[in-house]
Structure 1
Amino acid sequence: MTDDRKAIVPVWTLATGDVRVPAVAGDEPMTAERLAELRGVLAGLAAEPIATLELHPLPSKLDRSRGIPLDAASPLAQHLSQLITQSARSSSVAATATAAGDGLYRMVVPAKVAAQFGQGIVRPMAAKAVAGGIRSPLVNSTGGIVAGATFVPVGKAAAAGAVGGAGATAGVAVAGSAALTVAAPLVLMAVAVGVSANADHKRQQAIEHITELLEQLHEQKLDDEHSELDGCRDAIDKATAILLDQGKLGVSLGLDSAVHAINTALGAADRRLARWRSALDKLPDGKAVEIATLTKSFPGVDDHGGTFRAHLELAGLAIALKRRVIVLQAVEHAQTDTANLFKNFSRALKTDHQRLDELESGIARVLERLSALELARPQGLRPVFTNSEVDRLMRAANLIHKLGDDVVVNSRTTDVAIEIARNTDGSVVVFPALAA
């Protein structure tokens, strides 16, 4: 979130259940560092998940195409509007900050809670330009997220109550505790849309890569596999829109057939992964490998476009689509029991994501092993090689070693941030969830 001015930023602490914790927040202004510490303390002390919600000025330049738009009548927008209205009555800071009607709301879910969603949903995106940096769609050129801002806790605001039957667990935390607003529906919907947008962003990236690869390969079988997976998008988009508006999913959407196609693709990815592991296990330990030997099991690994790389992208597309479907299933499951809203949601996500995490980690380890291989020069009768042969060997070695550049294996779970742009008419755009 970009905010270079010395701004006063209101911050709400949102609980997903009726909890009692020591009044560690207080009413005094705090820095971004102090706010991060507070999140960790609340996550450790509270029996229910607790998130923080910050309100920043809406940036003048914002790429809304990356997010999922929801109109003012959607449950998420209504929960947010109700929180704004009722908190403005009891807090002059909140009233001043929300007077314009628009703004960029940034919900941060602590790492302890984010771990419940599955390890693979949100990972830090390494910034190439800055060592150890993390990319975000809303950071400024220096990488600052809330530079110069002072955070002011919003007092005992009334809760974002039940809208459309979504939240039986709404109210203010018990007397004597910290000023926590119980807003399980708001947190649930923000996390659900943010994670869904994150998965869809990965799908879009995979589609771009696959399209380019298949144009070079001209392989009908892979093209058909790609078309079948991409054809699932329409059913998933419709199901997302219906669930986020708290409708009921029906068979006419075609979601069942879409899930079947995705599961088929995941099964193919599992089989390919097993073959890749087996091929690597058969290579001699500590010895250089010829390119010809490697390309038998990994066709096209020595080139920018090849069957192996297409298989990688197809697996990534299937994983991204499945993650989005899992979010839909988790939301539907949670909404059937509003008295246990957030726990149902996080339980469904964690259980179903385990297989995807294992598949993704398995592929990552294959890429790591490939990138660490030493390539041998081709065996032949000639003692001297041509310039073209030397160039090919060097180019192949460079491409294969780069396979491990973007690999993340067993990444440490970080705080998850969901950024929501709110317009003056109450409609919102939810951006892909990212590592905070």
Structure 2
Amino acid sequence: MSDERKTTVPVWTLATSDVRVPGLTAGESMTGERLAELRGVLAALAEEPIVTLEVHPLPDRIDRGRGIPLDAASPLAQHLSQFVAQSARSSLTAARATASGENLYRMVIPAKVAAQLGQGVIRPMVPNAAATGCVFGDFVNTTTGRLASKATFVPVGGAAAAGTAGGAGATAGVAAAGGTALTVAAPLVLMAVAVGASAHADHKRQQAIEHITELLEQLQEDKLDDERSALDGCRGAIDKATAVLLDQGRLGVSLGLDSAVHAIDTALSKAEGRLDRWRSALDGVPEGEAVELGTLTKSFPGVDGHGGAFRTHLELAALAVALKRRVVVLQAVEQAQGDPGNPFENFTRALKRDQHHLDALESGIAGVLVRLSALELARPNGRRPVFTTSEVDRLMSAAHRIHQLGSGVTVHHRATDVAIEIARDEDGSVVVFPALPV
């Protein structure tokens, strides 16, 4: 896919506090590759989080159902509207790019900062998910997932989001940083990261629910169906709590979040128990020796087929983790809003502390899948010297499915830049899409 149009993309550097960084020359155009290098330099030299914000034309085709909608009165939408208005007054490039009022804003969080938020907040998608995950429409190469238009990025200096933080952080404004005006926009960055991470976690929840539903239709296991129902029933309380916090309200008992957290923690406890049993079963397999399929399926029921209890247990664990990550983000936002002076520091501190446990669980499950995929299946024991064609086919099919368990699994994730995309309509309302690795 190619696009010969030359698109001018304004780009701002946003800080969460007054910091000094290497200065940029406003109006000096750069390529996408040069912009990526700049992000790395800013992340390496700055003591506080510094992100970049790009503004693109709003594509005709966007799946808004994937994101979290916020009306024009929400804090994030208001901070973004204030930022757009101030930028348009101080920069002709920004004024032209945002004149229609309908744009796609792309905030990129450097890998260094993304790592501070916990490795599990944003996970790389499966290889072909980049095409379906992007929202740039005609601007994205559907094969590579990268921008296809010949965009020229133009740094915009001296733009400041005016107004108070509304309980989410310090007043935004311009800070002198290395001789260049740097926009201090802690509330805008905080709210964008929070909503993008929440949308990402909910996207993972939707995927897990779809997989579990399909597996349970084959398995017909009532107890596992009850586990699924209890977890999926937590969504309503989490959605309400998300809406309240993003409108800077206070969480109350009437929202039902406490009971939802109890159900999620119970599911996580079950997942940890299953993980311990899986590890013990694998530890019992002599190193370098083949294992019989019958022995393997006792500890991992259904591992040799498309469905089975083992695969359902994996998806239930993924669902519990996705729901817990949404709750963790809510708790981090609540803490940050309680201390307007340093919201991003509180936010990252809360996320790092609470994400560690979830990261360990996911890494443990990934390690089990990798170990399983490396096992060699032994020939079944029996008196007959020759096996039937169906027995051979079953063994080969089982070996293939077991080896596929490790496909695409990464035990230790390398931190990458993270993009949070926000579609803004003419009335000021926004839709924040799931945060994605760049």
Question: Above 0.5 in TM-score?
Answer: yes
Deviation at 1:223, TM superposition (A): 1.1
Unaligned ranges ≥5, structure 2: none
Normalised to the residue count of structure 2, the TM-score between the two structures is 0.96
Match of 1:263 in 2: 265
Give the letter for the 2:304 counterpart: D
Change (3 A) 1:250 1:4: farther
Provide the alpha-carbon RMSD of the alignment: 1.6
- Structure 1 SS opposite 2:104: strand
Match of 2:55 in 1: 55
Match of 2:339 in 1: 337
Match of 1:35 in 2: 35
Match of 1:137 in 2: 134
Match of 1:372 in 2: 374
Q: Distance in 2 between matches of 1:321 and 1:240?
A: 12
Match of 1:178 in 2: 180
Deviation at 1:342, TM superposition (A): 0.6
After superposition, what is the alpha-carbon deviation per residue over 1:242-284, rounded to whole angstroms, capped at 9, x for unaligned?
A: 1111111000000001001100110111110000000000011
Task: Assess if the C-alpha contact under 8 Å between 1:167 and 1:338 holds in 2.
Answer: yes
Asked whether 1:280 is paired with 2:277, we answer no
Change (3 A) 1:175 1:326: closer
Task: Assess if the C-alpha contact under 8 Å between 1:291 and 1:375 holds in 2.
Answer: yes
Q: Distance in 1 between matches of 2:429 and 2:95?
A: 19
- Structure 2 SS opposite 1:404: coil
Change (3 A) 1:26 1:163: closer
Deviation at 1:387, TM superposition (A): 1.2
Equivalences for residues 30-429 of structure 1 within 5 A: 30-128=30-128, 136-138=133-135, 139-143=140-144, 144-145=146-147, 147-174=149-176, 176-429=178-431
- Structure 2 SS opposite 1:329: helix
After superposition, what is the alpha-carbon deviation per residue over 1:329-354, rounded to whole angstroms, capped at 9, x for unaligned?
A: 00000000010111000110011000
Deviation at 1:196, TM superposition (A): 0.3
Q: Distance in 2 between matches of 1:38 and 1:193?
A: 25
- Structure 1 SS opposite 2:283: helix
Task: Assess if the C-alpha contact under 8 Å between 2:131 and 2:142 holds in 1.
Answer: no
Unaligned ranges ≥5, structure 1: none
The number of residue pairs the alignment matches comes to 432
Task: Assess if the C-alpha contact under 8 Å between 2:23 and 2:177 holds in 1.
Answer: no
Q: Distance in 2 between matches of 1:145 and 1:162?
A: 35
Give the letter for the 1:123 counterpart: R
- Structure 1 SS opposite 2:225: helix
Change (3 A) 1:146 1:159: farther
Task: Assess if the C-alpha contact under 8 Å between 1:17 and 1:169 holds in 2.
Answer: no
Give the letter for the 2:184 counterpart: V
- Structure 1 SS opposite 2:176: coil
Of residues 134-143 and 57-66 in structure 1, the stretch that sits farther from structure 2 once superposed is 134-143
After superposition, what is the alpha-carbon deviation per residue over 1:270-309, rounded to whole angstroms, capped at 9, x for unaligned?
A: 1100000000000111111111000010000001110101
Task: Assess if the C-alpha contact under 8 Å between 2:26 and 2:156 holds in 1.
Answer: no
Q: Distance in 2 between matches of 1:58 and 1:90?
A: 22
Q: Distance in 2 between matches of 1:121 and 1:221?
A: 30
Give the letter for the 1:18 counterpart: D
Task: Assess if the C-alpha contact under 8 Å between 2:168 and 2:336 holds in 1.
Answer: no
Change (3 A) 1:30 1:239: same
Q: Distance in 1 between matches of 2:216 and 2:177?
A: 62
Deviation at 1:161, TM superposition (A): 3.3
Deviation at 1:21, TM superposition (A): 1.8
Q: Distance in 2 between matches of 1:87 and 1:159?
A: 8
Task: Assess if the C-alpha contact under 8 Å between 2:19 and 2:177 holds in 1.
Answer: no
Deviation at 1:170, TM superposition (A): 1.7
Task: Assess if the C-alpha contact under 8 Å between 1:126 and 1:135 holds in 2.
Answer: no
After superposition, what is the alpha-carbon deviation per residue over 1:194-244, rounded to whole angstroms, capped at 9, x for unaligned?
A: 000000000000000111111221211111111111110000000001111
Task: Assess if the C-alpha contact under 8 Å between 1:24 and 1:38 holds in 2.
Answer: no
Q: Distance in 2 between matches of 1:304 and 1:25?
A: 57
- Structure 2 SS opposite 1:7: strand
Change (3 A) 1:84 1:26: closer
Deviation at 1:105, TM superposition (A): 0.5
After superposition, what is the alpha-carbon deviation per residue over 1:349-396, rounded to whole angstroms, capped at 9, x for unaligned?
A: 011000000000000000000001111121111111111111111111
Deviation at 1:34, TM superposition (A): 0.7
- Give structure 1 regions of 4+ aligned residues with deviation exceeding 4 angstroms: none
Change (3 A) 1:346 1:29: same
- Structure 1 SS opposite 2:181: coil
- Structure 1 SS opposite 2:422: strand
Task: Assess if the C-alpha contact under 8 Å between 1:125 and 1:135 holds in 2.
Answer: no
Normalised to the residue count of structure 1, the TM-score between the two structures is 0.96
Of residues 361-370 and 169-178 in structure 1, the stretch that sits farther from structure 2 once superposed is 169-178
Q: Distance in 2 between matches of 1:4 and 1:262?
A: 50
- Structure 2 SS opposite 1:149: strand
Deviation at 1:142, TM superposition (A): 3.9
Change (3 A) 1:393 1:47: same
Deviation at 1:315, TM superposition (A): 0.3
Change (3 A) 1:55 1:308: same
Deviation at 1:100, TM superposition (A): 0.2
Deviation at 1:147, TM superposition (A): 3.3
